[in-house]
Amino acid sequence: MPDDTLESLTQQLARWRQARHLISSRLNHDLRAPLTAIVGFAELLADENLPPEQQACVQRILEATDKIVSILDEVQEILNEVERQT
């Protein structure tokens, strides 16, 4: 393999790792932190004596945030798996 090709691949791998780190930190900070606040507030509301319609809305919020957390976990696992393979 010519040196320039190896150098190019090394640079591409470095860029991939930098992008992966950025994506991972954005997922964990910019998405999970506000999501944690939403879940916390929804759980506080769930503990209140709300009318059934409002209680149902709170449950929908909690279910939706659970789905989002699952998706974020899957994306993080994919990023980790790709990192292990490189």
Residues in Cβ contact with 39 at an 8 Å cutoff, skipping those fewer than 6 apart:
62, 65
Range of the domain at 53: 3-85
Q: What is the pLDDT along the chain (86 residues), one digit of tens a residue?
A: 566 788 888 898 899 889 888 988 888 889 999 999 999 999 999 999 999 999 999 999 999 999 999 999 999 898 888 778 76
Structural domain count, the chain: 1
Which domain CATH number covers 7? 1.20.58
- In terms of phi and psi (left: phi > 0; alpha: psi -120 to 50; beta: otherwise), the region of 47 is alpha
pTM score, two decimals? 0.75
